[in-house]
Structure 1
Amino acid sequence: MLAAAATLSPASAQNRFWLINQSGQTIESAFVSPSRLDNWGPDILGQSMLGAGQQVHVTPQATDCVLDIRVRYQGGREETKMQVNACSLTRVVFSGGGGAGASIRGSGARATTRVAGDPSFSFVNRSGSVIRELYVSLNTDRSWGRDRLGEQVLEPGYDRWIELPAGRSCAVDVKIVYMNGREQERRGLETCSRSEIVWR
């Protein structure tokens, strides 16, 4: 287990994360940069390398939450994750395929007060399995819409705040996709009178 060299400060503590190598290959260099910059900066591994199954704790020098992360494997192949919100996750996983790999810590922005007819809620994963995709729509909508997790995944025990428009419907449909591709759906869930849905 490695620790990336970086200056600690209270302002930057919120964007710290574990960079985890689950690619089956050795990572020879890694770069973390604020998404607003064009320069990748120095290799955070320095003279070290990150073997398969190893992880390194990263404390970015910048205080930005939104980061770009790039790793270079032995042999020269690169994998990049763009615009990762490091303030809302604890781990970023590189699997060698460039797919989803950021694990969500919490719900992000939550509504502090709820107006009548607001169907927004916190989705809590108690299924015991990692959720790869999460779709939520009002039951009056004709499509599922976007994946609420984006490039991230939702691990067991973690939650995601789902923001929905108020005043249209209190019934929502939910579809999830696990890492193995298995899907589950629940339709017509009433959420205006509850603050969370626990998925088991």
Structure 2
Amino acid sequence: MRRAFLAVLALAAALIAAAAPAQAQNRFWLVNASGVTIQEAYVSPSRLSNWGPDILGATVLPAGQQVWVTPNFGDCILDVRVRYANGAEDTRMGVNACRLSRIVFGGGAGASIGGAGATISPAPVGNPSFTFVNQSGATIRELYVSLSSDRNWGPDRLGANVLSPGQSVSISLPAIGVCTVDMRVVYMNGASAERRGVETCSITGYGWR
């Protein structure tokens, strides 16, 4: 009888273990190889349109240092954004954090997102062109992107089109040694927003939220 009871307990324990969700494997090292202090860092699931709180809180991430990131959600596909002390920003979109061990910001052409069989390299150094992704949750009626060295916005990048939430558009910019761009969007309700001095030579995609 006792042996049968123990067998039942063992079976129940096995069933509970099988039903329990696997522990999230989306933890990683955030490495600052940029040469500039990272003032803020944000990590969010790619399925969401908001970044959430600054994961560094009251601290910063000096150049050459790293911090262990443990997201409070189980998603594998993440977006990561950092803001440097000089105001520039850098973003990694759609990173599979369950297949890597570190995300490196900066470091020139050698910088990468690496892990178990996964390596994602940023855009070539000196090329400010990128893909603009509308993650704001609102339709964008007009989009202006220019190098920070330019004195005017230039033409509306959307022309007669609009950019719905989740859609993207390729932004082609001249590679003349300028790596920061200014962006301005106008929504369907007439509201507008701007971001200036965004560094795009080391990224391939920028999510507007």
TM-score (norm 1): 0.47
The structure that is helix-richer by fraction is 2
TM-score (norm 2): 0.45
